[in-house]
C-alpha cells in the first residue's frame, strides 16, 4: 500500500543554559505541511510541553522564528546605534536606556561589541536572501557587524604611542555565563586587531579546550597594554585589577559590566562602550 508521510516544523526558542526548562514551559509554534501533520506533532508536544501550542503551516512557522530573531537583532542594532551617538554627543547611553525603558511601551536592549550565537546573527540573513524588501534587516546586520571594528578603534585610540601593543580579550563565548562560542564577536575583534598589528591574547573561564584560550587570567594579562571585556560573564566581576601583571593599565568595558571606580582606583584608564571619554 501507499505509505503516508507526515512532517511538521516546530522551531525551538530555548536559551543556552536553560534549554530543558524552556522546552517545557515556552509556548510552541507547530507548523505542519498539512493539518494532519500539525495535529500529530501537537499530540507529541502536548505530552511534555506546559506552554501553549499554536498550529500553523511549516513555512509560517519558520518565518515566525526568523522574525523573532530578527526583531532582537534590530533592537540590539538600535541600542548599538544609540551607543555610538551617545559617545559622539557626550552622554552615558546605559543611563539613557535605563531611563527610556521606564516608558511602559519601550524596551531597548543593551548595546555591546557585536552579536553572536547561532540564531540572532544568522537568521536575519535568510530573510535578506528571500526578498529585496529587507532594508531594515540588512542595515541592522551591518550595524551589529561593525561593532567589533568600533571596539578596536577605541583600543587604537587608547594605545597611541605604544610599540607592538598586546591586548587581552576577556571572553570567548558569544554571551554571558554560557560556554557557546558560535559566531562570537571575540573572533572578529581578534581578527581586526591582528590586522592592525596588535598581539591578541584571550581568556574565558567557562570555555574549555579552545585553541585561542589561555589557561589562566594571569597568563592572558601578562604584559598586556589593554584589556577588553567582550563577554559579560558574571565571573569577570570578581577580577582584582590590582593583581593583574599588565604592562599598561587600560580597560575597555564593552558591556558596562565591571565596577569602573575600582579599576580607576587601581590606576586604570577606563573606557566604556556608549559613554563619552571626556
CA distance 163 to 160: 9
Question: How many residues in the chain?
Answer: 278
pTM tops 0.85: yes
Rounded-to-10 torsion of CA 174, 177, 179, 180: -30
pLDDT in tens, 23-63: 999 999 999 999 999 999 999 999 999 999 999 999 999 99
Asked if the model's pLDDT at residue 278 lies above 90, the reply is: no
Average pLDDT, the chain: 93
User: At 19, which helix (H) or strand (E)?
Assistant: helix 19-25
* Residue the block writes with cell 579552545: 210
Task: From the candidates 10, 42, 119, 201, give the one annotated as an active-site residue.
Answer: 119
If DSSP codes are grouped into helix, strand and coil, which group holds residue 259?
coil
Task: From the candidates 65, 110, 188, 275, give the one annotated as an active-site residue.
Answer: 65
Asked if the model's pLDDT at residue 120 lies above 90, the reply is: no
Establish whether 119 is a catalytic residue.
Answer: yes
Closest-CA residue to 268 (of 233, 238, 244): 244
pLDDT in tens, 53-88: 999 999 999 999 999 999 999 999 999 999 999 999
Question: For residue 155, how far is the Cα from the chain centroid?
Answer: 19
Amino acid at each position: 500500500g501507499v505509505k503516508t508521510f507526515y512532517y511538521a516544523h516546530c522551531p525551538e526558542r530555548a536559551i543556552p543554559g536553560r534549554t530543558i526548562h524552556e522546552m517545557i514551559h515556552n509556548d510552541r509554534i507547530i507548523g505542519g505541511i498539512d493539518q494532519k501533520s500539525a495535529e500529530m506533532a501537537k499530540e507529541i508536544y502536548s505530552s511534555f510541553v506546559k506552554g501553549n501550542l499554536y498550529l500553523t503551516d511549516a513555512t509560517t512557522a519558520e518565518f515566525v522564528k526568523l522574525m523573532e530573531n530578527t526583531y532582537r537583532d534590530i533592537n540590539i542594532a538600535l541600542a548599538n546605534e544609540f551607543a555610538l551617538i551617545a559617545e559622539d554627543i557626550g552622554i552615558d547611553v546605559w543611563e539613557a536606556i535605563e531611563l527610556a525603558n521606564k516608558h511602559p511601551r519601550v524596551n531597548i536592549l543593551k548595546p555591546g561589541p557585536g552579536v553572536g550565537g547561532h540564531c540572532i546573527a544568522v537568521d536575519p540573513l535568510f530573510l535578506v536572501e528571500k526578498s529585496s524588501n529587507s532594508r531594515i534587516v540588512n542595515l541592522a546586520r551591518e550595524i551589529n557587524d561593525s561593532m567589533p571594528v568600533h571596539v578596536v578603534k577605541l583600543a587604537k585610540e587608547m594605545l597611541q604611542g605604544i610599540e607592538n601593543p598586546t591586548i587581552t580579550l576577556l571572553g570567548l563565548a558569544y554571551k554571558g555565563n554560557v560556554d557557546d562560542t558560535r559566531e562570537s564577536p571575540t573572533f572578529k575583534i581578534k581578527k581586526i586587531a591582528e590586522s592592525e598589528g596588535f598581539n591578541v591574547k584571550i581568556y574565558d573561564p567557562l570555555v574549555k579546550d579552545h585553541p585561542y584560550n589561555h589557561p589562566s587570567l594571569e597568563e592572558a594579562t601578562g604584559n598586556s597594554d589593554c584589556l577588553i571585556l567582550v563577554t559579560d560573564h558574571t565571573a569577570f566581576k570578581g577580577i582584582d585589577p590590582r593583581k593583574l601583571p599588565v604592562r599598561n593599565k587600560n580597560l575597555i568595558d564593552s558591556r558596562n559590566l565591571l565596577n569602573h571606580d575600582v579599576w580607576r582606583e587601581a590606576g586604570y584608564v577606563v573606557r566604556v562602550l556608549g559613554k563619552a571619554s571626556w
